[in-house]
Amino acid sequence: MSQRAEFTTSSDEGGAVTIALAGPLTVAGVGVLDQELRALTEPVARVDLSGVSVIDTVGAWVAWRLARDNAAEITGGSEEASRLIAAVSKSDDTADVNPPRPGVIVRVPEAVGSMVVGLGAGTVGVTGFFGAMLISAWSLVRHPSRLRMTAIVRQFELVGVSALGIIGLMSFLVGIVIAQQGAVQLQQFGAEVYTVNLTGRLSMRELGVLMTAIMVAGRSGSAFAAQIGTMKLTEEIDAMRTIGVSPFEALIIPRVLAATLMMPLLGFYAAILAIIGGAFIANFALGIPFFSFLMRIQEVVPIRDVWVGLIKAPFFGMIIAITGCYQGMQVKANAEEVGLRTTQAVVQAIFMVIVLDAFFAVFFTKLGWG
């Protein structure tokens, strides 16, 4: 027996065309048949189903659509075929596949309004989340025995120790780029010796901690959002509340503490590796001996540049951790939202870090630490 439906055409004495369908008129057998029937150009007077061995809803739809488009009569169908065709004929819908789209004058204000409302709701949500975190932190200050040191140490390892490799490599390469590109520009003025100043101050003051914050946001901030979001989706957060465990004390505080305390160390480590990268390329490109470059750093980089980087780092870490944890706690519907919230956590954390860095740049300049 044929595995797919087929059709034949015939004409009577009056010239009326009859389409005779045969074989299994099912979803597995009508793929090619449907294309062939749609390619017909001659008008059809009758659709004969007497040769159909088996039929399902898809096959009934194909037969009924052929008859509908040609105003043809369906004959020879079994009782099952007649019942299915009657059912599918009632489901015909004349509505547009694509609903009418409002004009630009309506869409733009609507989009802006939705964005403003979302921004307001997000501000309220973040404020409430931050307040709940402060309450939990104060509760832990009053009852230190409830502080989960094991969880904090574990987060120290995940945020800090596990990130040393990738942050070190990135910083080393960034230092090479800064020194090499800086030397190319300074050579135009015969001032390539100041490549040491450029690399040292830029690494210690800005790029060391900033690039580290971006890496931590992409690495740990996304992990916080994904982990907490998955726990929220599987109702583990609700289970913790049911047994009397505060999710803020068990999940949020350890992550925020780890990111806040590890960022200064990671930022300083990144700055050192960037300077070593600059010294490495300067040894080959500028003829400045490696150890002479490092010794010169001590003379040209003021200690306040080190303090500027160390002061900014904890704020960056706190922003990254709070953003990741907040987005994770907002997961409600499905697994897709975990991915969306994780993406939002990374984007918002990086954006806030850059905004905060700009604020600190103005602030320290006003203090005379420019």
Tokens describing residue 28: 């597995």
pLDDT recorded at residue 81: 85
pLDDT recorded at residue 76: 82
Tokens describing residue 273: 């590796």
Contact, 74 vs 64, CB < 8 A? yes
CA-based R_g, the chain, Å: 35
Q: Where in the chain is the domain with CATH 3.30.750.24?
A: 6-89
Give the number of other CB atoms < 10 A from CB of residue 233.
Answer: 17
Q: Cα separations (Å) of 284 from 123, 173, 175, 281?
A: 51, 15, 14, 5
pLDDT recorded at residue 28: 82
pLDDT, tens digit, 9 for 90 and up, residues 41-91: 788 888 888 888 888 888 888 888 888 888 888 888 888 888 888 888 877
Q: Please give the Cα distance from 305 to 203 (Å, whole number).
A: 9
pLDDT, tens digit, 9 for 90 and up, residues 132-148: 999 999 999 999 888 88
Phi/psi class of residue 44: alpha, beta or left (left: φ > 0; alpha: ψ in -120 to 50)? beta
What's the CATH fold of domain 6-89? Transcription Regulator spoIIAA (3.30.750)
pLDDT recorded at residue 97: 62
pLDDT recorded at residue 327: 93
Phi/psi class of residue 95: alpha, beta or left (left: φ > 0; alpha: ψ in -120 to 50)? beta
Contact, 209 vs 313, CB < 8 A? yes
- Name residues whose C-beta falls within 8 Å of residue 174's C-beta, 6 or more positions apart in sequence: 203, 207, 211, 274, 277
Strand partners, 48: 20, 75
pLDDT recorded at residue 1: 46
Percentage above 70 pLDDT, the chain: 96
Tens digits of pLDDT across the chain (370 residues):
457 778 888 877 666 788 888 888 888 878 788 888 888 778 888 888 888 888 888 888 888 888 888 888 888 888 888 888 888 887 766 666 677 788 888 889 999 999 999 888 888 988 999 999 999 999 999 998 888 899 999 999 999 999 999 999 999 999 999 999 988 888 888 888 888 888 999 999 888 999 999 999 999 999 999 999 999 988 899 999 999 888 999 999 999 999 999 999 999 999 999 999 999 998 887 888 888 888 888 888 888 989 999 999 999 999 999 999 999 999 987 888 899 999 999 999 999 999 999 999 999 888 887 6
Percentage above 90 pLDDT, the chain: 45
Q: Please give the Cα distance from 357 to 355 (Å, whole number).
A: 5
Tokens describing residue 340: 């969306």
Of 216, 202, 205, nearest to 319 by C-alpha is 216
Query: Could you tell me the strand order of the sheet in which 17-25 lies?
Result: 6-11, 17-25, 46-55, 73-75
Q: Which residues of 126-144 are buried (b: 16+ CB within 10 A; e: fewer)?
A: eeebeeebeebbeebeeee
Give the number of other CB atoms < 10 A from CB of residue 177.
Answer: 15
Tell me, letter by letter, the H, E, C secondary structure of the chain: CCCCCEEEEEECCCCCEEEEEEEEECCCCCHHHHHHHHCCCCCCCEEEEEEEEEECHHHHHHHHHHHHHHCCEEECCCHHHHHHHHHHHCCCCCCCCCCCCCCHHHHHHHHHHHHHHHHHHHHHHHHHHHHHHHHHHHHHHHCHHHCCHHHHHHHHHHHCHHHHHHHHHHHHHHHHHHHHHHHHHHHHHCCHHHHHHHHHHHHHHHHHHHHHHHHHHHHHHHHHHHHHHHHHHCCHHHHHHHCCCCHHHHHHHHHHHHHHHHHHHHHHHHHHHHHHHHHHHHHHHCCCCHHHHHHHHHHHCCHHHHHHHHHHHHHHHHHHHHHHHHHHHCCCCCHHHHHHHHHHHHHHHHHHHHHHHHHHHHHHHHCCCC
